[in-house]
Structure 1
Amino acid sequence: MQRPFVHPAIEDIALESVLYALADPTRLEIVKKLTAGACGMNCSAAAPADLPKSTQSHHFQVLREAGIIRSERRGTEVVNALRCTEIEKRFPGVVSAILKASELKASEKARKR
């Protein structure tokens, strides 16, 4: 039997954990992909294609333990969804500011090319 996923209660989520999780470029890309999707995505669709599954699992675990995503097993796949609404209530504007800054940085980088 597989272990159940542990999701922290919204009141137990620390700002430091959210910032740490989103400081990693790979995890930030995963969150951006999940933001663009209308509903949850499985791990392999949300993670960069070149990452080994063990590395994907690590990144999703960090995001889950930080309270940024909620993971659910559906048959043989794991579907991940953002908890942005909950996090927005706890830390207003934090995740949206990070995502916006990331987009600005990407567009500046693209213009320089």
Structure 2
Amino acid sequence: MTFMTSPARPPTASAQPGRALEHPAAADIRLEEVLHALSDPMRLTVVRRLAGGGGELSCSDVPLPVTKSTTTHHYRVLREAGVISQTYRGTSKMNALRRADLDRLFPGLLDRVLEAADAQAGRLGEELGPGGP
């Protein structure tokens, strides 16, 4: 898999040089890696929050009931699979769905997964948590 060392979208003026994270090029995003990334409940929570937020969120905007190191792992899996992009802004990592890339590569996949996750949460009486849609 080829990784881009620059963010999936152009960095803003506040992005610090030397702190760029590796993201897969859109052409290298693979379905099985996206599905693996979406298969974990914590990562699916992150994706649901990002989808509902309509823009970028910091890691701390999506509280997860796991340790900080486990949270970092979940975000890394999502980034390396091509599901999200991450950009440093000061000391925060800002996260955004790579919706345009995913929709172009796998039309309808993200929408169906999000619909199924919402239906499951409703069926099980689960809530997305603070700040959720």
TM-score normalized by the length of structure 1? 0.90
How large is the Cα RMSD of the aligned pairs? Answer: 1.7
Moved more, 101-110 or 16-25: 101-110
Determine the structure 1 residue equivalent to 2:53: 37
Equivalent-residue separation in structure 1 for 2:104 and 2:122 (angstroms): 28
Aligned length: 110
Percent identity for Structure 1 against Structure 2: 42
Determine the structure 1 residue equivalent to 2:102: 87
* Structure 1 unmatched ranges of 5 or more: none
Give CA-to-partner distance per residue, 1:51-84, whole Å, 9 cap, x none.
2211111000000000000000001111000101
Q: Of residues 54, 65, 69 in structure 1, which corresponds to 2:84?
A: 69
Which has the larger helix fraction?
Answer: 1
Q: Secondary structure at the match of 2:93?
A: strand
Equivalent-residue separation in structure 2 for 1:79 and 1:29 (angstroms): 16
Give CA-to-partner distance per residue, 1:74-108, whole Å, 9 cap, x none.
01111000101111000001111111111111111
Equivalent-residue separation in structure 1 for 2:74 and 2:63 (angstroms): 9
Determine the structure 2 residue equivalent to 1:16: 32
Flag as ranges the 4+ runs of structure 1 deviating above 4 A.
none
Amino acid at match of 1:22: L
Q: Secondary structure at the match of 1:70?
A: strand
